[in-house]
C-alpha cells in the first residue's frame, strides 16, 4: 500500500539525544513512515535503531536498499550510505558526498519532496552548519510541511538557525512539543484529499540531483546544464563547481556529483588550507634534512666550501619554514556560523562601549 504520510528527519551534532527525545514522544500507532539521517563517521557501527527500539514506540531498523515502505516504522540511514525514497520504496546508495557527508540530509529531503509532495513532512534537529536547509526548502516549495527544532532547545543550534533563516518554516518548537505537533498534523490531514505532486520549473534539476545520490553518472544526467560555472574547485575531487540558485540560497555541484552549500564549501576550503600548509612544512622539513645530510657528506669528503653551501641553504629553508609555521598556527577554519557569531559579539562589544561612553559623559 502506498504510504500516505512521510516524515523525514535530519540531525547532526547533538542529534543523538534529540532523536531519542523525539521518538520517545511518538505514539506506537503513528500513521506515518519515518526516515532518519543522522551524521556519523563512516567507520562506526549503526547503533541508532537498537537505541530507538529500547523506547518501545515505533519499530526502528537500518534501511535496506529496495525494501517496501511500511506505515508505522522508522528507517535509519546506515553509515556511509545515502538514504533516499522512491514511490513506495527505500533506496540505500553510495552516491557522492553532499556537504561533506554520506549519509547527507538534503538527498533524503529532496527525494521525499519529489515523490510525495504535500504528504512529506521535514524536520530539522540539532546540528552544525546547514545540511538539510536546501532539502527543507524543497519540501516547502512542493507543498510539504517544514518543522524545525527551536534553536534555544538544540544542543547545537546552527542547523535549526540556518533552516529558519532560509526557509519559511511552518513550525518552530522544542523537542518535547514535537510529538504532539506531529500527531495533530497527521490527524488534520486525514480528512483532506491527497494532493498530487506538482511539477514546476525546478523538477528536472531536482530529478537530476536525486539521480546523482542514487549513484547515476552526474555528467550523463546533465549536471553541467544547470547553474553557472564558478572559479571554485571541488574540495573532494578538484572538479570545477557550478553555482545553483534556490530562493536566496546558492549551492554548488561539481561534474562528478559532490555538492556543497556556501557554508560547507567555506568550511572545506579553509580546512584544506591548513592541510596544504602542513604539507608545505613537511616538504621544507624534508629539504632541510636532505640538505644537511648532503652537507655532512661533502664535509666528510673534505669539501668544506661545498658543504657550507648546503648548510647555508638548509638554514635559509629553516627560516622560511618558521614563517610557514607562523601562518599555520594563526590560520582559522571558518564557517558562516562562526563569522555570524563574531559579528554578533562585535555588535555587543560596540553597544557596551557606547554605554560606557554615555556614562562617562554624565
Q: Exposure pattern of 42-60 as b/e (b: 16+ CB <10 Å)?
A: eeeebebbeebeebebbeb
Q: Is 159 left (phi over 0), alpha (psi -120 to 50) or beta?
A: alpha
Q: How far is CA 279 from CA 114, 224, 265, in A?
A: 43, 32, 21
Contact assessment for residue 69 and residue 56, using Cβ atoms and an 8 Å cutoff? no
Q: Write down the catalytic residue from 106, 119, 130, 131.
A: 131
Q: How many residues does the chain have?
A: 362
Asked if 131 is an active-site residue, the reply is yes
With cell 546508495, the residue in question is: 93
Burial class (CB within 10 angstroms; exposed 0-12, middle 13-18, buried 19+) of 12? buried
Of 208, 129, 205, 193, nearest to 161 by C-alpha is 129
Q: Exposure pattern of 162-183 as b/e (b: 16+ CB <10 Å)?
A: bbbebbebebbbebeebbebbb
Query: Which residues, in sequence order, are bridge partners of residue 76?
Result: 36, 62
* Grid cell of 8 as nine digits: 523525514
Whole-angstrom Cα distance, residue 22 to residue 15?
10
Asked if 12 is an active-site residue, the reply is yes
SS3 label, residue 291? helix
| DSSP conformational letter for 68 | B
Burial class (CB within 10 angstroms; exposed 0-12, middle 13-18, buried 19+) of 6? buried
Whole-angstrom Cα distance, residue 341 to residue 330?
19
Half-sphere exposure of 17 (CA within 13 A, CB side): 7
Contact assessment for residue 139 and residue 202, using Cβ atoms and an 8 Å cutoff? no
Whole-angstrom Cα distance, residue 353 to residue 243?
41
Q: Write down the catalytic residue from 12, 126, 268, 335.
A: 12
Task: Give catalytic residues, as residue numbers.
Answer: 12, 39, 131
Amino acid at each position: 500500500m502506498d504510504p500516505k504520510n512521510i516524515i523525514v528527519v535530519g540531525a547532526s551534532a547533538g542529534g543523538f539525544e534529540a532523536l531519542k527525545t523525539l521518538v520517545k514522544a511518538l505514539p506506537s500507532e503513528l500513521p506515518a513512515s519515518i526516515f532518519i539521517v543522522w551524521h556519523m563517521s563512516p567507520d562506526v557501527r549503526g547503533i541508532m535503531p537498537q537505541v530507538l527500539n529500547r523506547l518501545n514506540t515505533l519499530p526502528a531498523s537500518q534501511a535496506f536498499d529496495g525494501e517496501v515502505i511500511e506505515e508505522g516504522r522508522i528507517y535509519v540511514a546506515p553509515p556511509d550510505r545515502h538514504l533516499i525514497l522512491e514511490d513506495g520504496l527505500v533506496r540505500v546508495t553510495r552516491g557522492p558526498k553532499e556537504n561533506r557527508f554520506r549519509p547527507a540530509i538534503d538527498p533524503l529531503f529532496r527525494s521525499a519532496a519529489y515523490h510525495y509532495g504535500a504528504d512529506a513532512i521535514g524536520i530539522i534537529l540539532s546540528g552544525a552548519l546547514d545540511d538539510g536547509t536546501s532539502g527543507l526548502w524543497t519540501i516547502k516549495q512542493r507543498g510539504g510541511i517544514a518543522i524545525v527544532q527551536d534553536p534555544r532547545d538544540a544542543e547545537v543550534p546552527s542547523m535549526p538557525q540556518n533552516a529558519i533563516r532560509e526557509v519559511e518554516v511552518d513550525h518552530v518548537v522544542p523537542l518535547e512539543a514535537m510529538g504532539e505537533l506531529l500527531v495533530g498534523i497527521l490527524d488534520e490531514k486525514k480528512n483532506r484529499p491527497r494532493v498530487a505532486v506538482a511539477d514546476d520549473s525546478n523538477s528536472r534539476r531536482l530529478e537530476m540531483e536525486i539521480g546523482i545520490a542514487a549513484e547515476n553518472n552526474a555528467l550523463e544526467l546533465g549536471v553541467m546544464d544547470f547553474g553557472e560555472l564558478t572559479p571554485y574547485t571541488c574540495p573532494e575531487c578538484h572538479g570545477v563547481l557550478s553555482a545553483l540558485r534556490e530562493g536566496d540560497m546558492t549551492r554548488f555541484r561539481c561534474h562528478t556529483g559532490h555538492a556543497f552549500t556556501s557554508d560547507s564549501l567555506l568550511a572545506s576550503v579553509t580546512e584544506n588550507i591548513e592541510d596544504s600548509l602542513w604539507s608545505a612544512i613537511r616538504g621544507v622539513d624534508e629539504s632541510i634534512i636532505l640538505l644537511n645530510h648532503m652537507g655532512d657528506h661533502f664535509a666528510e669528503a673534505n669539501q668544506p666550501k661545498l658543504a657550507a653551501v648546503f648548510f647555508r641553504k638548509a638554514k635559509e629553508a629553516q627560516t622560511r619554514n618558521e614563517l610557514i609555521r607562523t601562518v599555520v598556527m594563526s590560520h582559522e577554519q571558518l564557517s558562516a556560523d562562526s563569522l555570524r557569531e563574531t559579528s554578533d559579539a562585535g555588535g555587543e562589544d560596540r553597544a557596551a562601549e557606547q554605554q560606557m561612553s554615555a556614562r562617562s559623559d554624565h
